[in-house]
């Protein structure tokens, strides 16, 4: 393929712009904030699950506490009634009196058991509430961190995008100036050569693959007319002679 030597040299400018664009794209993808945000997001989700568990524990404990309180009411009423009956002195039958005293002892023991249970349930409620408060505080703090990370990420992306837009505009200008066939060939090589389609020949070395041409290839490079597009014998990239 033939191309004006000046156009061939400008191909190196296009390559430099494309390399810069590739690096900027890579920086956008590899911003540290992406990984940090993903890590926070995982922690936030885990906290969400813990919060559901704590909410369930709180609701169970609250329901059980309500039930224990309700259970206590009739027992206390019964005890009060029995005590009043005895204090009133109206029960004279020793057997009835004895059974009532036994019942008072039983009711007192039952009240004590229910009150112990109620106390334990109150503690369970408090502990579930405290756990929920801890989780919510932790989640708020993670969400604050996420908001800060997102702002930092967005600012970095905006800067990189502005830089990318500049490079793309330079790229468009270069494309408009360069022969279509040369660009086409460059794009094909670039696609299969890790993003580098054109390289400079520096001395005997191809800057694309870094290899030095052997003497016979180098002789051929030198003998090739300047308007003939050279390809590196080693990597097949377009090889641009920068010195006239």
Binding site for Zn ion (CB under 5 A): 206, 208-209, 232, 234-235
Structure tokens given for 233 = 């014998």
Q: Which is nearer to Zn ion, 138 or 217 (CB)?
A: 217
Nearest-10 Cα torsion for 190, 195, 198, 203:
-140
The CB-of-30 to Zn ion minimum distance in angstroms stands at 27
Q: Which is nearer to Zn ion, 145 or 236 (CB)?
A: 236
CB of 199 to Zn ion, least distance (A): 6
Minimal distance, residue 201 CB to Zn ion, in Å: 9
Residues 6+ apart with CB under 8 A from 58: 125, 128, 129, 132
- Nearest to Zn ion of 27, 205 (CB atom): 205
Q: Cβ of residue 229: shortest distance to Zn ion, in angstroms? A: 14
Burial 20-56 (b: 16+ CB within 10 A, else e): bbeebeeebeebebeebbeebeeebeebeebbeebee
Report the residue number, 54 or 232, with the smaller CB distance to Zn ion: 232
User: Which own/partner pairs from 49-56 qualify as long-range (CB within 8 Å, at least 24 positions apart)?
Assistant: 50/131, 50/135, 51/132, 51/135, 51/136, 51/139, 54/128, 54/131, 54/132, 54/135, 55/132
Return the closest-CA partner of residue 40 out of 48, 29, 52, 28. 48
Q: Which is nearer to Zn ion, 124 or 235 (CB)?
A: 235
Residues 6+ apart with CB under 8 A from 153: 31, 33, 34, 37
Q: Min. distance of Cβ 215 from Zn ion in angstroms? A: 16
Please say which residue, 154 or 219, places its beta carbon nearer to Zn ion: 219
Residue 155 CB, nearest approach to Zn ion (Å): 39
């Amino acid at each position: 393929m033939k191309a004006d030597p000046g156009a061939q040299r400008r191909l190196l400018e296009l390559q430099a712009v494309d390399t810069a664009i590739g690096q900027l794209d890579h920086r956008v993808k590899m911003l540290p904030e992406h990984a940090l945000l993903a890590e926070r997001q995982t922690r936030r989700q885990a906290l969400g699950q813990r919060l559901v568990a704590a909410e369930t524990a709180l609701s169970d404990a609250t329901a059980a506490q309500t039930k224990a309180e309700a259970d206590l009411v009739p027992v206390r009423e019964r005890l009060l009634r029995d005590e009043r009956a005895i204090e009133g002195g109206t029960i004279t039958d020793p057997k009835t009196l004895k059974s009532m005293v036994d019942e008072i002892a039983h009711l007192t023991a039952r009240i004590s058991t229910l009150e112990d249970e109620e106390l334990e349930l109150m503690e369970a409620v408090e502990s579930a509430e405290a756990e929920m408060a801890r989780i919510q505080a932790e989640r708020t703090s993670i969400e604050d961190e996420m908001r800060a990370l997102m702002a930092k990420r967005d600012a970095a992306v905006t800067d990189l995008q502005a830089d990318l837009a500049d490079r793309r505009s330079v790229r468009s200008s270069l494309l408009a100036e360069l022969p279509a066939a040369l660009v086409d060939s460059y794009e094909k090589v670039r696609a299969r050569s890790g993003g580098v389609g054109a390289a400079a020949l520096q001395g005997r070395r191809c800057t694309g693959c870094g290899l030095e041409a052997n003497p016979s290839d180098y002789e051929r490079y030198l003998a090739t007319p300047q308007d003939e597009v050279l390809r590196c014998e080693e990597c097949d990239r377009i090889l641009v002679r920068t010195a006239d």
